[in-house]
Structure 1
Amino acid sequence: MARPTPELIDALRRTARNLKNGAPYQWGHMGGCNCGNLAQELTKLSKDQIHRYAMQRYGDWNEQVDDYCPTSTLPVDLVISEMLSAGLMLEDIKHLEKLDDRAVLMRFPVEERFLKHNVRDDVVAYMNAWADLLEEQLLEKITLPVFNLELIDQEVVY
């Protein structure tokens, strides 16, 4: 599962909002699909740039991830590297394209877990649920300092 970073959580929410508000969505387009839309938010590249980069190598996002090389200078590998630096893991990219990460799906009622990977509303719901999950994980890591109440009650003299 992805590292819960504020950048990734925010990008997931922005992507979901953009899709809900009518951003171009086309599951068969490498820059306009589930991963492509998130990649746009994380990289600030256009859907056409992402698609063009991906077409320099064969395959969909699953195959691009399988062939990913962190030392490559292929543009699609640079896009994937930027996505990973935001907190994603390679498997997360695959799960996003198919909307099939079990931890995310468990957040839905049983009757709503059968998301269709190429339906805009399902992608929006999945990204929002994933962002909520990551935010909860991030908040669990935050520890607030414990204050000594006896010191707080004492009068401070300057």
Structure 2
Amino acid sequence: MARPTPELIYALRQTAQNLQHGAPYQWGHMGGCNCGNLAQQLTKLNKQQIHQYAMQRHGDWNEQAEDYCSTSEMPIDLLINEMLNAGLVLEDIKHLERLDDRQVLLRFPLEQRYLKHNVRQDVIAYMNAWADLLEEELLEKITLPSMEALEMA
């Protein structure tokens, strides 16, 4: 599971909001699918640029993650590297494309856990649930000083 970073949490929420407000969505397009929309937010590249980079190698996002090489100078690997630097791990890319991360799905009531990977509203719900999960994990790691410590300072 991803490292909970403010950048990633913001990107997930902003991507969900963009999709909610009509951002182009096309599951079969590398720049306009689930991962493509998040990649747009994290990298500031547009969907055409992302698609062009991805088409320089074969496969969908799952295969791109499998073939990822951290030392490659291929544009898609540089793009994936930016996504990883924001807190993602390669498995997150695979899960996002299929909306199937167990930890995220457990946040939904049982009857709502069967999300369709290519349905805009399901992608929005998944991204928001994932952002909530990561935010909770991040907040658990934050320790504020006690009042006594502040008064002694």
Q: TM-score range by the shorter chain?
A: over 0.9
> Aligned equivalents of 1:147 and 1:45: distance in 2?
45
> Aligned equivalents of 1:30 and 1:108: distance in 2?
27
- Deviation string 1:69-93 (CA, Å, 9 cap, x unpaired) is 0000000000000000000000000
Which residue does the alignment assign to 1:90? Answer: 90
> Aligned equivalents of 2:118 and 2:25: distance in 1?
9
Which residue does the alignment assign to 1:106? Answer: 106
Query: Larger radius of gyration, structure 1 or 2?
Result: 1
1:146 Cα offset (Å): 1.4
Give 1:3-152 correspondences, 5 Å limit: 3-148=3-148
> Aligned equivalents of 1:147 and 1:32: distance in 2?
49
> Aligned equivalents of 2:138 and 2:148: distance in 1?
26
- Deviation string 1:45-66 (CA, Å, 9 cap, x unpaired) is 0000000000000000000000
2:96 is paired with a residue whose SS is: helix
- Count of equivalent residues: 151
| Structure 1 runs of 4+ with >3 Å offset | none
Identity %: 77
What one-letter code is carried by the residue in structure 1 that aligns with 2:92? Answer: D
1:148 is paired with a residue whose SS is: helix
State the TM-score, normalized to the length of structure 2.
0.97
State the TM-score, normalized to the length of structure 1.
0.94
> Aligned equivalents of 2:25 and 2:117: distance in 1?
12
1:147 Cα offset (Å): 2.2
What one-letter code is carried by the residue in structure 2 that aligns with 1:86? Answer: A
What one-letter code is carried by the residue in structure 2 that aligns with 1:52? Answer: Q
Q: Which consecutive residues of structure 2, in runs of 5 or more, have no partner in the other structure?
A: none
Q: Which consecutive residues of structure 1, in runs of 5 or more, have no partner in the other structure?
A: 153-158
